[in-house]
Amino acid sequence: MDDKEFLRARKILGKTQKQLAELLGTSIKAVHSYEQGWRTVPAHVERQVFFLLARKQGAASSSKACWTIKKCPRKRKMQCPAWEFQAGKLCWFINGTICEGEVQQNWQKKMKICRECEVLKSLLTAQH
């Protein structure tokens, strides 16, 4: 997550830097640094921001479950944690999902795929 995405997410959430810092359990200085691009947004913060965006959207989200979007075959779907936990709109949150036919080795590789997927992209295109 870059500085522009982080700022956009905060605005979509309708939070001040102080309020977002409290939600993330971090300092206002850290939030300011993420928005200025002085510090890289850590994976755990990025994950939490996306989670808050997903919860903010809630039922208003028109996105489909990931397995529908990706047209996953039944066998793959049955092995995927997103299916197991019925988290087709929170698939980006769960490590070990079977996207692009295989489990991704780390958060960065997973997020590279997720950023191209309608499920995650819809979170940052929400209007505020």
**Distance (Å, rounded) from C-alpha 78 to C-alpha 61?**
24
Cα distances from 55 to residues 12, 86, 112, 114, in angstroms, run 12, 15, 22, 17
The residue to which tokens 């996953």 are assigned: 72
Q: What is the DSSP letter of 92?
A: G
Which pLDDT score is estimated for 62?
A: 57
Domains of the chain, each with CATH number or no CATH? 1-59 (1.10.260.40), 61-128 (no CATH)
pLDDT band at 128 (very low <50, low <70, confident <90, very high): very low
20 with 45: CB under 8 angstroms? Answer: no
User: What is the pTM assigned to this prediction?
Assistant: 0.79
Question: Residue 64 above 90 pLDDT?
Answer: no
The amino acid that residue 109 corresponds to is K
Using alpha carbons only, what angle is made at residue 58 by residues 54 and 63, rounded to the nearest 5 degrees?
75
What mean pLDDT is predicted for residues 87-107? 86
The residue to which tokens 């997410």 are assigned: 9
pLDDT band at 35 (very low <50, low <70, confident <90, very high): very high
| Average predicted confidence (pLDDT) for the chain | 87
pLDDT band at 32 (very low <50, low <70, confident <90, very high): very high
Question: Residue 13 above 60 pLDDT?
Answer: yes
